[in-house]
Amino acid sequence: MGEFFAMSGYWPFVWPAYALAMAGLAFEAWRARRLLGRARQEARRKLAIQEQS
Amino acid sequence: MSAPLVPAAAAFASALRRDLLQAARRPGEWLQPLAFFVIVTVLFPLSLDPELARLRHLAPAALWVALLLATLLALDFLYREDARDGTLEQFALSGQPFAVMIFAKTATHWLLTGLPLALVGPLAAISLGAPPQNALAVLWPLLLGSVSMSLIGSICAGLTLGTRRGGALLSLLVLPLAMPALVFGARATQLAIAGESAAGALYLLGAITVLALTLAPLAAAAAVRISLE
Amino acid sequence: MSWAWFHRFGSPPYFYRVAGKLAPWFGWSALVLVLVSLYGGLVRAPVDYYQSDAFRIIYVHVPASWLALMTYTTMAVSAAIGLVWRIKVAHAVAVACAPAGVSFTVVSLVTGMIWGQPTWGTWWAWDPRIVSQLFLLFFFLGYIGLRSAIDDPDRADRASAVLAIVGVVNVPIVRFSVDWWNSLHQAPTVMRMDKPAMPWEMLWPLLLMALAYTLYFFWIMLVRARAEVLRRDRGGQWVREALARDAAGGSA
């Protein structure tokens, strides 16, 4: 198991590269979901204002 | 007055004449980029080693970076004034092809910045250590390169017309588009300074310039039209 | 051949609904495939003879570079469709591509640098592929910058579409000029990455990861495009119905 994580001594390169790539994808996914959530909130608020008037 | 053979050509000529007359009354606008070009090429030796043999290696980089930045500086007022006083709208309503009218503006931009910069280029090259007998050959890449940069710039200036922070955005848009011209142009300049044949790089630069000449006026016209609405 | 489907996709309510149904499929299958190809790339693929275990970085790096280009193509094609046929949904798709393009180019550049250090002995080389990615990143940033500088969404759509189309002409020229320039200044330390005939155990995780990234891209793009469509068309009757449906069926 230790051998696997050592990556023949290349662990300081392999693991950060994988971590950064996956973190980048996850961050982008989070941002997209947040954008949709905000757009929905905004739309709901607009509808509520329309109904009041 | 006889009717012109090609109305669009006549419109082009009159737009060009008008722009040149205006520029003659406001020399600051076209002297500024020229001064800027000279300053940048002077700053290079001052911030480096003034030994001419070593400067010679950096001369193409200095010339092309200075050319690109000076072109960018002048692009900022390519359409601005005419957009404000309604001239561009008159162009759009004139019944002449809009791309031709926009191309006239681009041509003015080149005549007032690209051409003087290219003409100063050989002198700047000598000051950067180019052998005087080779310096004149620097003129050709600078001439071709400045044409394509004015054309690329005319698209980007049209896109950023009427936006809030024009300057920084304009350079962000121009740089990736101007990069191929810079690569070929700098190489041709390097060969010219070394006294070798720069034909290969010049052909490629010429190909880019021709492509820009055919496509850029159309794209620039589309961009300006969108910004006018 | 009927063009009805094309026009139907141009209608925001239809797009919002269909994209909402499709997006979770893309998202979940991307997640599963990423996990499988991570396992394939990290565990199953044999150690490379030349690069040892450092070669495993290409499983996250190369698909990102491919996808950056594909994102760009998708963006330009939908921007052109939006410009020519004046379809708002197509513009929304183009807008949705740009942030994904930035992340793909950044992931590609960063993992490329990490791969370069053990393999080439340098963090940064003026390699044509790296430079092309860098200019692609500048291009995406310029696109986003232009959009954010124009207040009117309709104008922003069309101006950025012109930029995207101009960029399509530019991207191959950039690539050619960088290749040409590199052939003049070939650095001797730089080793070519592509070797002939990668064995299958090494290749399948790469292809699978590329597929996973592609599905991921479609997921992100659909989610963002839905948000964009909703933001532009708020206040309509369909928005009320769509929001009610979202609330009932969970969100995606």
Q: Please provide residue C48's backbone torsions phi and psi, each rounded to the nearest 5 degrees.
A: -75, 140
Whether residue B90 lies inside any domain: the answer is yes
B–C CB contacts, 8 A cutoff, strictly below: 74
CB-CB under 8 Å, B211 with C174: no
Among A10, A20, A43, beta carbon nearest to C111: A20
What one-character DSSP code corresponds to residue C41? I
Domain ranges of chain C: 19-191+201-248
Strand ranges (E), chain B: none
Tally C-beta pairs within 8 A across A and C.
Answer: 113
Residues of chain B contacting residue C86, judged by C-beta atoms under 8 Å apart: none
DSSP state, A9?
G
Alpha carbons A36 and C242: distance in angstroms, whole number = 13
Whether the CB of C235 is below 8 Å from some CB of chain A: the reply is: yes
Task: Give burial (CB, 10 Å; 0-12/13-18/19+) of B75.
Answer: buried
On whether the CB atoms of residues C144 and C97 are closer than 8 A, the answer is no
The Cα–Cα gap between C104 and C152 comes to 28
Each residue of A11-52: pLDDT tens digit?
888 899 999 999 999 999 999 999 999 999 988 888 888 888
Domain that residue B174 falls in: 7-228
How distant is the Cα of C231 from the closest Cα of chain A, in angstroms?
Answer: 6
- CA gap C250, C238 in Å, rounded: 18
Is B2 domain-assigned? Answer: no
Chains with 3+ CB–CB pairs under 8 A to A are: C
Count how many domains chain B has: 1
Q: Is A50 exposed, middle or buried (0-12, 13-18, 19+ CB in 10 A)?
A: exposed
The burial class, CB within 10 Å (0-12 / 13-18 / 19+), for C95 is: buried
Which pLDDT score, from 0 to 100, does residue C188 have? 42
Give C-chain residues touching A4 at CB under 8 angstroms. 42-43
Tens digit of pLDDT per residue, chain C (252 long)? 567 777 777 888 889 999 999 999 999 999 999 999 999 888 888 887 777 788 888 899 999 999 999 999 999 999 999 999 988 899 999 999 999 999 999 999 999 999 888 888 888 877 778 888 999 999 999 999 999 999 888 899 999 999 999 998 888 888 888 888 877 765 444 445 555 567 888 889 999 999 999 999 999 999 999 999 998 876 678 888 888 888 887 554
- Chain B meets chain A (3+ C-beta pairs below 8 A): no
CB-nearest to C47 from A8, A17, A29 is A8
Tell me which residue of B196, B207, B149, B195 sits closest to B174, measured CA to CA. Answer: B149
The residue among B198, C42, C17 whose CA lies nearest residue A21 is C42
Chain B residues with CB inside 8 Å of C177's CB?
179-180, 183-184, 204
* Residue segments in chain B with a per-residue pLDDT below the cut of 50: 1-2
**What pLDDT does residue C246 have?**
84
Burial of residue C189, with CB atoms counted within 10 A of its CB: 0-12 exposed, 13-18 middle, 19 or more buried: exposed
Residue A46 structure tokens: 């607009």
How far apart CA C145 and CA C213 sit, in angstroms, is: 25
* Chain B CB contacts of C178 below 8 Å: 183
Mutate to test the interface with A, among C16, C114, C219, C240 (most CBs of A within 10 A): C114
Which chain C residues are Cβ-neighbours of A22 within 8 angstroms? 34, 60
pLDDT at position B204, please?
93
Residue of C nearest to B173 (CA): C142
- Take residue B11 and report the two structure tokens written for it: 């419109």
**Cα C246 to chain centroid, rounded:** 27
Backbone angles phi, psi at C235, to 5 degrees: 95, -15
Residue A40 with chain C: CB contacts under 8 Å:
227, 230, 243, 246, 251
- Whether residue A7 and residue C251 make contact (CB cut-off 8 A), yes or no, is no
Q: To the nearest whole angstrom, how far is the Cα of C67 from the nearest Cα of chain A?
A: 12
Determine, yes or no, domain membership for B1: no
Which residues are bridge partners to C48 per DSSP?
C52
The residue of chain B nearest to residue C132, with distances taken between CA atoms, is: B176
What pLDDT, on the 0 to 100 scale, is given for residue C217? 97
C-alpha B58 chain-centroid distance: 21
Token pair of C22 as six digits:
């499709």
- For residue C220, CA distances in Å to A40, B4, C25, C217, C225 come to 16, 57, 12, 5, 8
Buried/exposed C160-188: b ≥16 CB within 10 Å, e otherwise? bbbbbbbbeebbebbbebbebbbeeeeee
Closest-approach residue (CA) in chain B for C160: B159
